[in-house]
Amino acid sequence: MKKKFVSTLLIISILSTGLLSGCGKSSSSESVDLTSVSLDTIKEKAKEEGTISSVGMPDDWANWKGSWENITSTYGLEHDDTDMTSSEELSIFESEKDSPTKDIGDVGQAFGPTAVDMDVVQPYKASTWDSIPDWAKDPDGKWTISYLGTMSALVNTNNVSDPITSWEDLKNSDAKVTLGDVLRGASSQMAVLSCAYAMGGDAENLDPAFDYFKELASEGRIDVADGSVERLNRGEIDVLVTWDYLSLQYRDIVADNNPDLNMECHVMQDGAVQSGYCLVINKYAPHPYSAALTVEYLLSDEGQIDRARGYARPIREDVVLPDDLKAKMISDDEYTNTIPLTDNDTVTKACSEIANRWEEEIIPLIGE
């Protein structure tokens, strides 16, 4: 799924392709100031528009399916989505400005400020704005993080006998680790960054992580194949490091498809970064009121619970989750020492360095 393979490295390429060039008004939505319109008016106008077209918000990611079904049943909006990476989402906002087809997107945290720099998004502040942390939103409302993911380990206990709840545990085991595509995948790069924190480094000191993976590479313990559900079902993966909501989703899928295969999910206790995804409304949206109403719903209690049903952690801490849902998630106790990523510039630079150094220092050791 494209959503999984977003690379913050692509931010640089987006900004260098001329997408920052100025443009005149080419869509009626540019004349709409969504921040000055009442919610009642937004609902009325959205009903007239009758449709919402999204990018990068597919049914099988963080329970978007549940939200789209609720939006359709509650507001009567017909919906379609085209799955894209974050960079592709922003690119299509820009490239289609003269004849726009997309209204709203969901982009990786580092792409929120990029969208503002590209001038392809318009502001809207949901009625729950004050309950969203300042670091998780653009002050003008041009992007808002709606959910968070934390780096976790999905462990095949049929293959791995000892518990893996930390990077140190993984290092001391015989298990192979699957990270995915570190050159291009955001989640893969976040795994390496998490390891850096665990080993005493940080986003500006990645040496400890690379020392760690050089050791694993020398032992033949880096699995270079992808972390797909198909491979998990076949028992080919020992330990997959990825976002917690994906680990939990994969755990459930494997349990249904291969009941004899046992999977455990844990947040890495010595180093687990936490990052989110931003809601962005296309500056040239053909259905701006529907887009605003969608943001309103997604940041409501109901919308936030939808994300939790997809195992993502809602950005709003004041939302009370149902007990049956909480029971399926990783215990809150495991999130005590997570590292929130709130400095987007530093993270972007770290991801670029991770990709470059992985290609130069690790790939030659594993023969990828």
> Rounded CA gap, 203 and 192, in Å?
10
223 and 298 in one domain?
no
Domain of residue 270, CATH code: 3.40.190.10
Residue 264 and residue 143 share a domain = no
**pTM, full prediction:** 0.79
Please check whether residues 136 and 285 belong to one and the same domain.
yes
> Among 359, 295, 326, which residue's Cα sits nearest to residue 67?
295
Q: Where are the beta strands (DSSP E) in 287-356?
A: 313-314, 339-340
Q: To the nearest whole number, what is the mean pLDDT of the chain?
A: 91
Q: Which two tokens stand for residue 77?
A: 């909006």
Going by pLDDT thresholds of 50, 70 and 90, the confidence category of residue 116 is very high
Which domain, by its residues, includes 316?
2-148+275-326
Tokens of 350: 């770290």
248: left (phi over 0), alpha (psi -120 to 50) or beta: alpha
Q: Are residues 157 and 50 part of one domain?
A: no
Paired tokens of 109: 């945290």
CB-CB contact of 342 with 135 (8 Å): yes
Residues 209 and 316 in one domain: no
CB atoms within 10 A of CB 258: 15
pLDDT digits (tens, 9 = 90+) for 345-354: 898 899 889 9
362 and 306 share one domain:
no
Task: Name the percent of the chain in helix, strand, coil, to the closest 5.
Answer: 45, 15, 40
Interval 209-226: pLDDT, tens? 999 999 999 999 999 999
In terms of domains, do 57 and 161 share one? no
Q: How many domains does the chain have?
A: 2
Render pLDDT for 247-301 as a digit per residue (tens, 0 to 9): 999 999 999 999 999 999 999 999 999 999 999 999 999 999 999 999 999 999 9
Structure tokens given for 303: 């919308």
Same domain flag for 309 and 346: no
In the structure, what pLDDT confidence band is assigned to residue 343 with cuts at 50, 70 and 90? confident
- What number is the average pLDDT over the span 89-115? 94
46 in the same domain as 10:
yes
Same domain, 140 and 198: no
Together in a domain, 180 and 296: no
Considering the domain architecture, whether residues 59 and 6 belong to the same structural domain is answered as yes
